Amino acid sequence: MGRLQFSHGLNIVITTTFVSLLAMPIVGPALPVLQEEFGISNRDIGWVVMSTYTVPALLFVPIFGYLADRFSKKAVLLPSMILFSLCGGAISLAPNTETIIALRFLQGIGASAIATLNIALVPDLFSGRDRLTVMGWTGVVQGIGSGVLPLIGGLLAFLIWYLPFMAALMGLPLSLYIYFYLKNISPPKKAKKTNYAAHAWKHLADRRVVELCFFTFGYIFVGFGAFVSYIPSFLASTFGSGPLLIGVIIAARALSGALTASFLNQLTLKFSSRSLVVSSFFVLGLGIVSIPLVTGPLGVIFAAFCYGAGFGVTRPLLQVHLFELAPDDLRATFASANGLALRFAQTISPLSAGFLISWTNFGTMYLAAGTIAFLMMILAFYGNSLSAENTKMA
């Protein structure tokens, strides 16, 4: 990882990335306890806690992107962080399921801004290869957090069901830090006079931008749908694996993702962006198609490492190149576009995988997902957005 000097901007990007994880990975282990506490069925627990949190992003991510570019990122991030934190903490006081649904929806609105603007701040605060280094650090935080937070959440839920939800309150002291130390960078005056819709469409319709967002969509569609959403069911139904073993196997992806993300800057000095993205899709496809061939649960760790390793490279690298194409007054909008691609993939991929499993079986689903990864590899090989000319970094 490249060296960066201490700065408030770096602290805010890293800590905001961490706080954005305090409503999903850490909450998962609490779901069975929550079901027992409020009498929520297996059929309903997913949408009560998870879907009500993620759905707001489909509407509010582009809205927050617009507001951040028209006014300032600080003006949007600060109240969103407070909303996220207070609603998460308030779940501990929820008397019924309806209150939980309402609070998770409101918390999801706040998270829609946090998960977009933590990345959109990077091109504002850093330049050249420092951007790549910082994006690598955010990948490390996401990787470690995704692996460690479920373990912490399980311990907290063992004590009291609502403690994992209260972790979101850590965003309140961060809000104070943001208020005092985040520079309030206002958009250029000419940006406010510009017809935003026409200006944004002109740049977002760039083929290179569409390609980069599509690559993000493709990687998440395969990884989230085939691996994250259905590996637990595959392991339990095929090998009778318990929650602890499943948790360890899933955590393996976080380990490999954090490792590759930490070396992202060095990797881009030795290999082209095209070769890194192509290799990531190849490794992802190889891991996914290997799943039906394993003879025991530990064999799935190979797929976990493949998925995580590719994610640690592809996700931050695509974001950096996207920001290189973004005008200064549309950085939050570009981050929103990429965020929408990710959320859309997370929304439809489990449905697609579940539909295929219901008609065939796990093996067919994993072979189909691996085939999609290999097709994405071919598209990345020929994509104009990953040419040497379009991926130069100072």
In this structure, are 175 and 203 located in the same domain? no
Q: What pLDDT was estimated at residue 354?
A: 84
Residue 187 domain-assigned (yes or no): no
- What single-letter amino acid sits at 26? I
In this structure, are 272 and 316 located in the same domain? yes
Residue 270 domain-assigned (yes or no): yes
Burial of 102 (0-12, 13-18, 19+ CB in 10 A): middle
Q: Which of 148, 181, 214 is the last residue of a domain?
A: 181
In this structure, are 241 and 338 located in the same domain? yes
C-alpha–C-alpha distance, residues 373 and 379, integer Å: 10
Q: What pLDDT was estimated at residue 343?
A: 81
How many Å separate Cα 179 from the centre of its chain?
A: 25
In this structure, are 122 and 203 located in the same domain? no
In this structure, are 15 and 154 located in the same domain? yes
Q: What is the CATH number of the domain that holds 115?
A: 1.20.1250.20
In this structure, are 144 and 223 located in the same domain? no
Round the CA-based radius of gyration of the chain to a whole number and report it: 20
Q: What pLDDT was estimated at residue 345?
A: 86
C-alpha–C-alpha distance, residues 143 and 155, integer Å: 20
Q: Which of 181, 206, 240 is the last residue of a domain?
A: 181
In this structure, are 161 and 201 located in the same domain? no
In this structure, are 147 and 235 located in the same domain? no
In this structure, are 120 and 46 located in the same domain? yes
Q: What pLDDT was estimated at residue 46?
A: 66
Residue 393 domain-assigned (yes or no): no
In the chain, how many domains are there?
Answer: 2
In this structure, are 105 and 223 located in the same domain? no
Residue 21 domain-assigned (yes or no): yes
Q: What pLDDT was estimated at residue 42?
A: 63
In this structure, are 219 and 308 located in the same domain? yes
Q: Which of 181, 209, 236 is the last residue of a domain?
A: 181
Residues of the domain holding 251: 197-387
CB 257 within 8 A of CB 139: yes
Assessment of whether the complete model's pTM goes beyond 0.95: no
In this structure, are 305 and 354 located in the same domain? yes
pLDDT under 50 in the chain at which residues? 2
CA distances from 311 to 34, 74, 173, 370 (A): 31, 28, 30, 15
